[in-house]
Amino acid sequence: MAESRLRSFQAALSGLASMLRGEPNARIHFAVALAVILAGFWLEISRLEWCWLVAAIAAVLAAEALNTALESLADATHPDPHPGVGRAKDAAAGAVLVVAFAAALIGLLVLGPHLLARLVS
């Protein structure tokens, strides 16, 4: 049982690593996440603010992973251009965009006041 769980965890990490290697947007999201985390430490944000940021970061990375999975599956099952496949891929990319915009807004709402306070003082 434990060995099966370990293999599942390794497969999940392998999937994330593959996404980061193969998807430029995933690397951008990951870099922004690291910058936000560093800013959170620098600005000494509260635990509640950390909860918001961690949830936003997790949502973006999860949406990017699902988008990558859908695109890979679509390409594997229907390698030739097809309008339905194109719409599905566009919708998945749109979902990532919505989540990324929401995360950016959360980041501004959480980090903005702290940054402003640092600039003013």
Residue 121's pLDDT band (boundaries 50, 70, 90)?
confident
The per-residue pLDDT for 32 is 98
> How much is the average pLDDT of 32-52?
98
> How much is the average pLDDT of 30-58?
98
> How much is the average pLDDT of 75-92?
92
Question: What angle (nearest 5°) sits at the alpha carbon of residue 20, between those of residues 52 and 111?
Answer: 25
Calculate the CA 7 to chain-centre distance. 23
Q: Is the pLDDT of residue 100 over 90?
A: yes
> How much is the average pLDDT of 75-82?
90
> How much is the average pLDDT of 26-52?
98
The per-residue pLDDT for 26 is 96
> How much is the average pLDDT of 36-49?
98
pTM of the predicted model as reported, rounded to 2 decimal places: 0.91
Residues 14-33 have pLDDT tens digits of: 999 999 999 999 999 999 99
Residue 2's pLDDT band (boundaries 50, 70, 90)?
confident
Domains of the chain: 2-120 (1.10.287.3610)
